Chains A and B, each alone.
Chain A
């Protein structure tokens, strides 16, 4: 009896492995192998021509990354982008989710509408934002100068580093709100209605209901969204690449756009790979700290 059970169990495990295998293979080939390869490249002055030996340079690419002023600026720009777009997305998404949760008519319509930016192509909306912020004849300048008469001269948004990040931040927030909103909406629907009814009987204001019922019960969702959005924020690339291409004078470079220029324009594949791993270390550390300190043990299923 005992033996039969073990065999059955083994069979179950075997079946499970067979089901996991295709996914695992794809994961190994398309995620793990390129990552390992990139890690290897980061220790070399990598030559792309077959037969030409690559030169092992040890940690030189990493020390260069830590001393490169443009890499530092790129890292700073990446962090600032994350610090601005993540709270921006979360606050707006929460506001929209709360509004949507309360309306009766047109819920699906609005939900779809706010989700639309999420599913549109980064390329298309990046070019759209570039067009809006163009100078002197972009849509925004036209509105500010000719329609609302708020300013006299058009602002050369993309010509100065101080203003060139604004369209990039704006795009990051606008495009991400829908994604966080859908997740928040789902979380809102799991909150038992009785709690609100009880609170109403106790005479709690709607602000009090938000801070004492809604937000605490949404906490796991908020932490999850925060972590995911932070990772997404650190990976900003397409919008920067298409709107400013790192310019003017490399001042809006983020880590990934700078990595891309190093690798594919200057053939510095080793250095580009090292930059990627520097970014990876930053992301993993921050995500780990977030989960460690923001999630409570009972929420982690421990």
Chain B
């Protein structure tokens, strides 16, 4: 009996050691950004009385929600806002930082509850959706001097604020993806200059593959718009027609097909990291460990990635459509529920001033004012030059209220096609038909 108990005891000890082994192998490396979202019920909608423009009597507080990083927020709160408040003694600005993955949900909840902020710095892809909901103020109607700003900013970023005849915001900062290449891997493979065309890109991929097992020419996280659109456009294809009325003939057209066939070729030949098919890929980690030779990245890359590794920037490789990349960035928009629209508009003007734009440029926010292109600061900047060059032709993802749904449709089609589960014609014929339906607003 006591022998039996000893056995039980020992087997329990064994189990514990196993459990401990599993738990102590806990991740020390590369903490992936965590998306923690929880289900919340939306509050009951309440009628909101919108006071158009109350007289600026007494102190006024405006709230500004954003997703600035720590360095950017420090600049905003310690330099810009005090500067604004000094010039407008009756106004205080409340800066609220919200993580990207929670931002949209939090905002939607606050809109539903009738307590939206006065202003937000919104991802450009959200603006048409919020505008279509009726949550935003049409700035071209509200700001008498709107045209001055409209002419001062880059047209590409500006276009992301447009919906059915009105502009609902102004660009605040801009970015795009350019090719980032791993200098050590290029040297080992004998590649002297980064690829300028798709053919050169393929030739370089062959050389990278020759480096051996586990070396990838290129990697991206999936088949979402931010990843695939640069390839679609560079091959001369598109998701929809320029007026956003139809996808059939564009998304499943011959040029878009060429782009996806090119990507599928990269996957099938082992040039592309298979993480694009699902399961994710740590592109920065692979780039840092000399496993991935090229990635597409934005202007935040140098500040966050660090300077330990040597790398270079180049334009997106050119296809039949040119070297076309995808525009990212943020717009500043004002909410209908704002009680202090005049003051909020003042803050928009302030954020678009050359002084504010240059201050934010110092912490990695690329300015949107054309006039700044000729300044010494921008000309001498170590890496803004290549991004500005790429921005000249970069394009925005389908600026449509249904963007989130549209993107999901061709994201799934692209994933199934790259896995070889379905023909291009079938996957993208169906996807284009679905998107045709989504482009029509009720």
Contacts and interface: CB of A to CB of B under 8 A. Distances in A.
Given A50-B46, A269-B42, A128 B27 contact: yes
Contact of B42 (A48, A134, A160, A164): A48
Contacts of A37: 41, 44
B48 A51 contact: yes
A103 B5 contact: yes
B280 A158 contact: yes
Interface string B402-442: 00110010001001100100000000000000000000000
A51 B45 CA distance: 7
B34 interface: yes
Nearest to B280: A158
Interface string A216-256: 00000000000000000000010001100101111000001
Contacts of B371: none
B71 interface: no
Contacts of A49: 45, 111-112, 133-135
Contact of B279 (A50, A51, A158): A158
Interface in B1-36: 4-5, 8-9, 11-12, 16, 19, 22-23, 25-27, 32, 34-36
A148 interface: no
A159 B45 contact: no
A245 to B, nearest CB: 8
B53 to A, nearest CB: 19
Interface in B251-296: 274-275, 277-280
B380 to A, nearest CB: 41
Contacts of B35: 241-242, 245
Nearest to B108: A48
A102 B1 CA distance: 10
Interface stretch (A9-17, A184-192, A259-267, A285-293): A259-267
B112 A50 contact: yes
Nearest to A249: B415
Contacts of A99: 8, 11-12
Contacts of B408: 265-266
Interface string B103-115: 0110010011110
Contact of A158 (B135, B214, B278, B404): B278
A8 interface: no
A132 B25 contact: yes
Contact of A248 (B37, B214, B278): B278
B303 interface: no
A139 B4 CA distance: 34
**Residue in A50, A52, A139 with the greatest tally of chain B CB atoms within 10 Å:** A50
Contacts of A91: none
Contact of B416 (A113, A242, A249): A249
Interface of A: 34, 37-38, 47-52, 99-100, 102-106, 110, 113, 123, 127-128, 130-132, 134-136, 139, 156-160, 164, 237, 241-242, 245, 247-250, 256, 260, 264-267, 269
11 contacts: A104-B5, A106-B9, A110-B12, A113-B19, A132-B25, A156-B274, A242-B34, A248-B279, A249-B415, A264-B104, A266-B408
**What are the 10 closest A-B residue pairs judged by CB atoms, nearest first?**
A248-B278, A158-B279, A159-B279, A50-B45, A131-B27, A48-B112, A34-B41, A139-B25, A159-B278, A49-B133
Given A49-B134, A52-B133, A158-B280, 6 more contacts: A34-B41, A49-B45, A51-B47, A99-B12, A110-B12, A260-B37
